[in-house]
Amino acid sequence: MTAAHAEALTRSVEDYLKAIYHLSLDGHAAGTTEIAHFLELAPPSVTGMVKRLSEQGLLEHVPYKGVQLTSDGRRAALRMVRRHRILETYLVAYLHFTWDTVHEEAERLEHAVSDTLIERMALALGNPRVDPHGDPIPDADGSIAELLYTPLTEVPVGESVELRRVDTSHADRLRYLAEHGLRPGARVTVSAREPFHGPLSLDVDGTGQVLGYELAALLLCARPEA
């Protein structure tokens, strides 16, 4: 995809491509219903847009499963992901936004700023690899390191890990997690786990906490670096 082609994409198209990127991270095709739910749109309107994006060479149909991004579509989606995550990082680092307030701001700004401004922000930040939530930031060339982490719900009892990524943009959840010290970089030990998706007892940087299964599943961890 040429730079001119990328600049010509509408906000709506950019939102669709970014949504399909997120929905297909696990390797499966994104269905129309999934896309409609993600973007809070009616399925018939999604069907029409998907057809247009396929005709433009940005999507391809997977028979009986849905759609996936073409190489051009993936580059355009990752361009938007980079913009969003650089903006979030800059807003937190320099404008003192909290990590629970930056998502909506970045959603608004990502369509308006130029690539030049994004690259100057990245340079001012020291070309960060992750955003405030631990999400990887794509490189300017469209490559991205999708690191594999372990959900806290799968960490064995008694094992200590480092929280690397928080897989949610919901402000209320982020505020709750921050209040309990559960940010990227925190050292967490699973002290006990109740059965049947029950709560987890944790030691978070030396403080005892109890966390529900649903929230714990959003915390992605790795063994602490030596």
pLDDT tens, position by position, 2-17 = 444 545 789 999 999 9
* Its pTM surpasses 0.75: yes
Residues 6+ positions from 159 with CB-CB distance below 8 Å: 189, 190
Q: How far, in Å, are 31, 168, 180, 214 from residue 91 at the CA level?
A: 33, 18, 22, 28
Residues 93 and 197 in one domain: no
Strands ordered across the beta sheet of 200-204: 150-151, 219-222, 160-166, 187-193, 200-204, 207-211
Average pLDDT, the chain: 94
Residues 72 and 131 in one domain: yes
Which of these three, 129, 144, 159, is where a domain ends?
A: 144
Residues 85 and 121 in one domain: yes
Residues 129 and 42 in one domain: yes
For 31, other C-beta atoms within 10 Å of its C-beta total 18
Looking at the predicted structure, is the pLDDT value of residue 191 above 70?
A: yes
Which of these three, 144, 159, 183, is where a domain ends?
A: 144
Residues 33 and 127 in one domain: yes
The pLDDT, as a whole number, for residue 64 is: 84
Residues 126 and 79 in one domain: yes
Residues 4 and 115 in one domain: yes
Which CATH number is 192's domain given? 2.30.30.90
- Tokens encoding 30: 């994104």
The pLDDT, as a whole number, for residue 101 is: 96
Residues 62 and 136 in one domain: yes
Total domains in the fold of the chain: 2
User: For a pLDDT cut of 70, what percent of the chain falls above it?
Assistant: 96
Which of these three, 144, 179, 203, is where a domain ends?
A: 144
Beta 200-204 vs 150-151: how paired, if at all?
A: unpaired
User: 17-65, pLDDT tens digit by residue?
Assistant: 999 999 999 889 999 999 999 999 999 999 999 999 999 999 998 888 9
The C-alpha angle 32, 34, 35, rounded to 5 degrees, equals 65
Looking at the predicted structure, is the pLDDT value of residue 132 above 80?
A: yes
Residues 27 and 135 in one domain: yes
Residues 134 and 171 in one domain: no
Can you give the C-alpha Rg of the chain in angstroms?
19
Residues 126 and 164 in one domain: no
Looking at the predicted structure, is the pLDDT value of residue 202 above 50?
A: yes
Residues 6+ positions from 10 with CB-CB distance below 8 Å: none
Q: Identify the residue with better confidence: 207 or 226.
A: 207
Residues 133 and 154 in one domain: no
The pLDDT, as a whole number, for residue 153 is: 97
**What is the arithmetic mean of pLDDT over 167-173?**
95
94-103, 107-116, 139-148: least confident range:
139-148
Burial degree of 27 (CB within 10 A; 0-12, 13-18, 19+)? exposed
Structural domain containing residue 64: 1-144
Cβ-contact 152, 160 below 8 angstroms: no
Q: How confident is the model at residue 147 (pLDDT cuts 50, 70, 90)?
A: confident
The pLDDT, as a whole number, for residue 3 is: 45
Which CATH number is 86's domain given? 1.10.10.10
Q: How far apart are CA 120 and CA 127, in angstroms?
A: 9
